[in-house]
Amino acid sequence: MNESFDIQSIRKQFPILDQEVYGKPLVYFDNAATTQKPLCVIERERAYYLNENCNIHRGVHYLSQKATEAYENARKTVADFIHAREAREVIFTRGTTESVNLLATSFEHFFIQEGDTVLVSAMEHHSNLVPWQQMVQRHHGNLLVIPMSDQGELDLNCYSELLDQRPKLVAVAHVSNVLGTINPVKEMVRMAHEKGIPVVIDGAQSVAHMPIDVQDLDCDFFVFSGHKMYAPMGVGVLYGKAEWLEKLPPYQFGGEMVDVVSFERTTFNVLPYKFEAGTPNVGAALGLEAAIRFLQRLDRSAVESHEATLLHAAVDRLCGIEGIRFIGEAKNRSGLVSFVVKGVHPYDLGTIIDKMGIAVRTGHHCAEPVMTRFGIPGTVRASFAMYNTLEEVDAFVAAVKRAALMLR
Ligand code: PLP
C-alpha cells in the first residue's frame, strides 16, 4: 500500500460507506456501475440549489448570469481535466450513453451511406455497440468486430486487416467494464488515422482511474459519464475535435441550440451550444466540476497504485477458491475482477454475499457478446475505487469462499 495515500481521510469524505447492511459493515465493490460521491460534490450541488439556481444563458438578471458563469467555468474545468484544446470541444450530455447516441445520430445524417460499416471491439458495453449497430443497419450495413484472445486482449493484427475494409468509424472502449482490460487506444487511433478513419473512445471506465489527455491520444471523440467518476448522475461529456463538431449536424432541436428561427428556416448556434438543446443539468455539471477538483487535489499516481494493489490482492486471494475461472486476464488491466465459480450461478453467489454486506454486480454487465464469447451466462464482478481497503478485499474473498461452499 502506498504510504502517501491516506485512505482514512479519503473514506471520511464518503459518509455513505460508513454503514451496516444486514448487520454487516458495507463493502461497496460495485464502483464500475457507479461510484459513491464525496461530500464536496454533494455540497456543491446543494449550494447551487440553495444559492444559485437559475436557468442559464438566457437571463439578464444576476442569478442567471452567475449560474451561466458557473456552468461555463465547469466546462473549462472539464476541458483542462482531459486536456482538450478548447472549452467549446466539451459538450455536456446526460452521460456516456447519450454521448454515443448523439454521435451516432449526427454521423448518420452527415455521412453514412448504403452498406457502410462501423468497427467496434468484441468487448464493448451495449451503449457503445447498439447505437452504432442500429445506425448502420438502417442503411443495410453492419458492424465489423475486432476479436479478442482468451485473456481478453484485442487482436491488433485483425484490427489492422479490418481497417482495410474501410469502416466509416472506429468505436472502442478505453477500459472494458467486464474484463478490466486497458486497450491500447493511442496505438489504435494512430492505426485508424493512417487510413483516414476517425475514432470514438468510450472512456466510461477509464476517466476515474487514470489521467486522460485527449490531445495525446489524438482521438476524434472521447465520451464519459460523471457518475462513474465521483460526480452526480445525470451529467456526462462528449469531447470532440472542433473540426469534427463543426461539421456534424445537431442532435436535438429546440431552445438554446439555435441562432435565428423563423417559420421558414432555422440557423444554428455555435459550438458547444449547437449540441445542447434545452435546459441542461446545471447542478450536476457543477457537481462534476467539484469531482474533478477533488481528483486533482489527490496524488493520482498514488490512487492508481492503491487501486492496483487492491486488484492484485483480490486476484491472488480468489485464486485459492476451487473451481474459480477468471474472465479477463489481460496484462494491462484496471481495477476490477470478473469471475465464475464452477457449479455456481453468479446471481446466486452475488445474492448470498450481499447478505454478508458485500455489494458486487452479477450478470452480463450490459455486454452480452462478451458472455457469448466466453460461453458463460454472466460473471461476478468486483470493481474497486480509491476508498476501498485491503480489509474489504479480505472480507469479500472470505464471503465468496463461504458462498461457493454453500452453493456447491
Ligand atoms: N460504456 C461503458 C464501458 C460502461 O461501463 C458503461 C456503464 O456501465 C457505459 C458505457 C454506459 O454508461 P452510462 O450508463 O453512464 O451512460
Structural domain of 396 = 7-30+299-407
| CA-closest residue to ligand 1 atom 14 | 97
Q: What is the pLDDT of residue 145?
A: 98
Give residue 16 CA to ligand 1 midpoint distance, Å.
22
- Assigned domain for 152 exists: yes
Ligand 1, residues 101, 225, 381: which to mutate, most atoms within 8 A of Cβ? 225
Q: What is the pLDDT of residue 165?
A: 98
**311 close to 337: Cβ distance less than 8 angstroms:** yes
Give residue 102 CA to ligand 1 midpoint distance, Å.
15
Give residue 230 CA to ligand 1 midpoint distance, Å.
14
Give residue 41 CA to ligand 1 midpoint distance, Å.
20
For residues 101 and 129, what is the distance between their CA atoms, to the nearest angstrom? 10
Burial bucket for residue 153 (CB in 10 Å: 0-12, 13-18, 19+): buried
Output the ligand 1 site: residues, CB below 6 A. 32, 95-97, 125, 127-128, 173, 177, 202, 204-205, 225
| CA-closest residue to ligand 1 atom 6 | 204
For residues 123 and 149, what is the distance between their CA atoms, to the nearest angstrom? 11
334 and 222 together in one domain: no
239 and 330 together in one domain: no
Backbone angles phi, psi at 370, to 5 degrees: -70, -40
312 and 277 together in one domain: no
380 and 303 together in one domain: yes
| CA-closest residue to ligand 1 atom 8 | 33
Atom of ligand 1 nearest to the CA of 99: 16
HSE of 325, CA atoms in CB hemisphere, 13 A:
16
Per-residue model confidence as pLDDT tens for the chain (408 residues): 445 679 999 999 999 999 999 999 999 999 999 999 999 999 999 999 999 999 998 778 999 999 999 999 999 999 999 999 999 999 999 999 999 999 999 999 888 999 999 999 999 999 999 999 999 999 999 999 999 999 999 999 999 999 999 999 999 999 999 999 999 999 999 999 999 999 999 999 999 999 999 999 999 999 999 999 999 999 999 999 999 999 999 999 998 899 999 999 999 999 999 999 999 999 999 999 999 999 999 999 999 999 999 999 999 999 999 999 999 999 999 989 999 999 999 999 999 999 999 999 999 999 999 999 999 999 999 999 999 999 999 999 999 999 999 998
Among 274, 296, 318, where does a domain finish?
296
123 and 160 together in one domain: yes
Ligand 1, residues 30, 92, 93, 96: which to mutate, most atoms within 8 A of Cβ? 96
Give residue 341 CA to ligand 1 midpoint distance, Å.
26
**91 close to 245: Cβ distance less than 8 angstroms:** yes
Q: What is the pLDDT of residue 401?
A: 97
- Assigned domain for 35 exists: no
Q: What is the 3-state secondary structure (H, E, C) of 247-315?
A: HCCCCCCCCCCEEEECCCCEEECCCCHHHCCCCCCHHHHHHHHHHHHHHHHCCHHHHHHHHHHHHHHHH
Give residue 228 CA to ligand 1 midpoint distance, Å.
8
289 and 305 together in one domain: no
165 and 250 together in one domain: yes
**181 close to 328: Cβ distance less than 8 angstroms:** yes
Atom of ligand 1 nearest to the CA of 365: 8
Atom of ligand 1 nearest to the CA of 95: 16
C-alpha cell at 163: 481497417
Atom of ligand 1 nearest to the CA of 127: 10
291 and 315 together in one domain: no
CATH code, 169: 3.40.640.10
275 and 335 together in one domain: no
Q: Helices (DSSP H) in 82-147: which residue ranges? A: 96-111, 130-137
Ligand 1, residues 120, 126, 177, 381: which to mutate, most atoms within 8 A of Cβ? 177
Among 279, 296, 313, where does a domain finish?
296
For residues 351 and 359, what is the distance between their CA atoms, to the nearest angstrom? 9
- Assigned domain for 261 exists: yes
| CA-closest residue to ligand 1 atom 5 | 177
Catalytic residues: 366
